[in-house]
């Protein structure tokens, strides 16, 4: 199966808000296929999360697998996710598949100190059209949920970098222009 193209910083869909997905669409074959393709693409590039706008589709869909390569753990597919509770603050390292440049296996743009909420609770719809809830506290999943949900609002992790000089340096080094 061909992998999806992961759009790189500068592409319009990365900075556009995404639309809600309706119940009927979730059942459709095309949607199921998109979910499958996004998961395969995420794994192929060693990502722990991928949002639909990163493959050019401005819809509220994200896939996450912070347990990878643990094959027993199922990936998360979150449709219309919404942060309904947030608490605390934590700074940690972050990267993004849309900031790799052309060599998708390279490190790409990477920042050591991106500020996120420590704990979040997210409500979302699953593939069975059921509303679900997930909580994450101080771990990679918490960070990943916030990063991917930001993508659905057209917000990128570089928007959360505080050191603008370092941001400029990193972007230039990787061939990106602000
Ligand atoms: Zn990202």
Question: Residue 116: which CATH number?
Answer: 3.90.45.10
Tally the domains of the chain: 1
SS3 state of residue 160: helix
What is the DSSP secondary structure assignment for residue 103, as one 8-state letter?
-
- Report pLDDT digits (tens) over 120-136: 999 999 999 999 999 99
Task: Give me the residues near ligand 1 (ion), CB cutoff below 5 Å.
Answer: 96
pLDDT at 1: 63
Assign 56 a pLDDT band (cuts: 50, 70, 90). very high
58-64: average pLDDT:
98
- Catalytically annotated residues: 148
Q: Would you say residue 169 lies in a domain? A: yes
pTM of the complete model beyond 0.85: yes
Q: Would you say residue 2 lies in a domain? A: no
Residue 49: closest CA among 129, 170, 151, 121: 151
pLDDT at 21: 98
Distance of CA 58 from the midpoint of ligand 1 (Å)? 14
Q: What average pLDDT does the chain have?
A: 94
Distance of CA 151 from the midpoint of ligand 1 (Å)? 7
């Amino acid at each position: 199966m061909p992998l999806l193209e992961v759009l790189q910083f500068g592409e319009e869909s990365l900075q556009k808000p995404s639309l809600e997905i309706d119940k009927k669409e979730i059942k459709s074959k095309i949607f199921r296929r998109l979910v499958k393709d996004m998961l395969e693409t995420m794994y192929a590039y060693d990502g722990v999360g991928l949002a639909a706008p990163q493959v050019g589709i401005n819809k509220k869909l994200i896939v996450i697998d912070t347990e990878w390569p643990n094959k027993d753990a199922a990936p998360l597919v979150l449709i219309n996710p919404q942060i309904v509770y947030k608490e605390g603050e934590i700074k940690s390292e972050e990267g993004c598949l849309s900031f790799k440049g052309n060599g998708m296996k390279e490190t790409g743009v990477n920042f050591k100190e991106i500020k996120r909420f420590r704990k979040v609770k997210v409500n979302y719809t699953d593939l069975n059209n059921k509303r679900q809830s997930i909580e994450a506290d101080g771990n990679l999943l918490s960070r990943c949920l916030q990063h991917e949900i930001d993508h659905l609002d057209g917000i990128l992790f570089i928007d959360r970098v505080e050191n603008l000089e370092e941001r400029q340096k990193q972007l230039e080094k990787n061939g990106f222009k602000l």
